[in-house]
Amino acid sequence: MRGCSPIVSQALHCVRGKGRLFLALAVLAATPADPGLAQAPAFTPSDERPEDFPPGPGREEAFYACVACHNFKLVAAQGMTRARWEESLAFMTQRHNMPALEGDERRIVLDYLETTFPPRAPARPGGWQNPFAPR
């Protein structure tokens, strides 16, 4: 049917005769009068600010490079070596289409992450394993 959503159109196409009219009325009755009510809530940015994290050269660059996809608290909780931070950036660039950080920008971000969020001592035998880090 013209003007219907693809799902309603497909359902109406499969139903014949009086069943089609009944289905159309049922769908119409279940549809909110205000189309805005059926939409997902709007994205609200995080309440995080660069100033909420340890000061140091590269804090703002690292913060804004990371919060484009996830909150910075996730980053701050990791604690990795520079090599692991490098692997994480490569993984996110390849797997999640993160814009590549290159040159000075990459060095500044890695310097901040390596200095501010280094590896922590293992909390238990075998150590804590980051479930998001490449293996």
The single-letter code of the amino acid at 84 is R
pLDDT given for residue 61 in this prediction: 95
Domain ranges (residues) in the chain: 6-38, 50-116
Banded model confidence at residue 71, pLDDT cuts 50, 70, 90: confident
CA atoms of 65 and 59, how far apart (whole Å): 10
Using one digit for the tens of pLDDT, what is the confidence trace for 8-24? Answer: 445 444 445 555 555 55
pLDDT at 31 over 60: no
Q: Which two tokens stand for residue 52?
A: 């909420």
Task: Indicate the class that CATH gives domain 50-116.
Answer: mainly alpha
pLDDT given for residue 12 in this prediction: 45
Banded model confidence at residue 69, pLDDT cuts 50, 70, 90: confident
pLDDT given for residue 5 in this prediction: 52
pLDDT at 29 over 80: no
Would the pTM of this model clear 0.75, i.e. be above it? no
Is the Cβ–Cβ distance between 101 and 49 less than 8 Å?
Answer: no
- 3-class SS string, 59-100: HHHHHHHHCCCCCHHHHHCCCCCHHHHHHHHHHHHHHHCCCC
**HSE-CB of 120 using CA atoms within 13 angstroms:** 13
Is the Cβ–Cβ distance between 98 and 88 less than 8 Å?
Answer: no
Element (H, E) at 40: none
pLDDT given for residue 63 in this prediction: 92
